[in-house]
Amino acid sequence: MALPQYATEQLLENIKRRCLVPTSQLTYTPQGLTDLANDTLQGEIVPLIMSTREDYFVTHVDVLSPADGVIDFPAEAVGSKLRNVCYYPSGNPLNIINLPRIDLDLVAGVGFMNYATLAGFYIEGNKFCLYPNTSVPTNTTIRIYYYKRVLTLAAPGHYAYVRSVDTNTNEIIVDSVPSDWEVGSELNTVSGEPNFDITNSRVTIQALSSPTITLDSVEDIEVGNYISFYGYSAIPMIPLEAHQYLAQVTAGKVLEGLGDREGMTAALQKAQSLKDSLLVMISNRIDGSPKKVINPQGGLRMPYWRRGWWGF
pLDDT tens per residue across all 312 residues of the chain: 455 789 999 999 999 999 887 666 667 899 999 999 999 999 999 999 999 999 999 999 999 999 999 999 999 999 999 999 998 877 666 678 889 998 888 777 654 555 455 678 999 999 999 988 888 888 889 999 999 999 999 999 999 999 999 999 999 999 999 999 999 999 999 999 999 999 999 999 999 999 999 999 999 999 999 999 999 999 999 999 999 999 999 999 999 998 899 999 999 999 999 999 999 999 988 887 666 666 655 555 554 444 443 343
Q: Is 100 helix (H, G, I), strand (E, B) or coil?
A: coil
CB atoms within 10 A of CB 42: 15
pLDDT attached to residue 309: 38
Alpha carbons 164 and 142: distance in angstroms, whole number: 39
Q: Please state, in angstroms and rounded to a whole number, the distance separating the CA atoms of residues 134 and 119.
A: 9
Helices 243-257, 261-282: crossing angle, 10 deg rounding: 160
Other Cβ atoms within 10 Å of 89 Cβ, number: 15
* Distance in angstroms (rounded) separating the CA atoms of residues 178 and 231: 16
Instruction: Give residue 56's identity as a one-letter amino acid code.
Output: Y
Terminal-to-terminal C-alpha distance of the chain: 60
Note the pLDDT of residue 307: 46
Q: How much is the pLDDT for 117?
A: 55
Q: What is the pTM of this model?
A: 0.86
> Contact 149/76 with Cβ under 8 angstroms?
yes
Specify the long-range contacts of residues 268-273, CB closer than 8 Å, at least 24 apart: 270/18, 271/245
